[in-house]
Chain A
C-alpha cells in the first residue's frame, strides 16, 4: 500500500477484555515496529520484527502483550485482559533495514481506551 495502515483507528474496550490491533506495513518493508504513545510515558518501543521473527521483545510491558507477524507483512498486537493503564495510542512503523539511518514510516495509530 501507499503507507502504513493500522486498524481500528479507535477502540474502546472494557477492562478485562482482549483486543487485537492490526498493522499493514508498506509493501516490501522487512522491518516492522510497534510503539506505544501514552500520557506521561511518551513514545515507548514495544517490539520489533525482522521478517516474521521478533529478535527483540524487550519492550513488551507484560506477558499480557504479544505480537505476531505472518508472511513478512501484516502484524497483530494482542493485549489480553486489558487494564486501564493499557489506554494509549499504539503506533506501528515499517522500514527497509538496510542501514542505521533508514527512515521509519509510521501509521496513524490505534487509540485504545480501556474503561
Chain B
C-alpha cells in the first residue's frame, strides 16, 4: 500500500536558518503530493502541492519539488522565521481509493528560535 516517510523531529533552528524536511513516498500509481502545516492550536492547512513529476509547489517561501526518480518531495525554505514553528506533514493522494484520501507521514515538528 501507499506510505509516506518523513524525518523525525523535532527540528530546532535559529531564525534565518535554511530548512530542509525530507519526505519520501511509496505509491502504486502517480500520486499527487502535498505538504500540510499545523500551527499551534490550529487545524491542518495545505501549505503547497505538486501533481506531477518535476512540478514545484511553493507558498510562503516554502518550496518542494516532485522527484519521481527518487520518490521524494523534500520541503525547503531559505530563511525560517519564528512564525514558521509548527508541525509539518507530508502526504500523498493516489486517487485509486477513497476519493482523494490522503496518506500522511508522521509529521515533523519545527521549532525556530529567535
Contact = CB atoms under 8 A, between A and B. Distances in A.
Given A31-B100, A42-B107, A100 B32 contact: yes
Interface stretch (B16-24, B39-47, B74-82): B39-47
Interface residues of B, number: 25
A91 B104 contact: no
Contacts of A31: 99-100
Interface of B (DSSP majority class): loop
A85 to B, nearest CB: 18
Contact of B98 (A56, A102, A105): A56
B93 interface: yes
Contacts of A43: 89, 102, 104, 107
Contact of B51 (A58, A101, A105): A101
Given A43-B107, A101-B93, A103-B49, A108 B42 contact: yes
A107 interface: yes
A103 B48 CA distance: 10
B39 to A, nearest CB: 11
Contacts of B89: 43
A58 B107 CA distance: 22
A97 B98 CA distance: 10
Interface string B99-114: 1111111110000000
Interface of A: 4, 31, 33, 35, 42-43, 45, 48, 50, 55-56, 58, 91, 93, 95, 97, 99-109
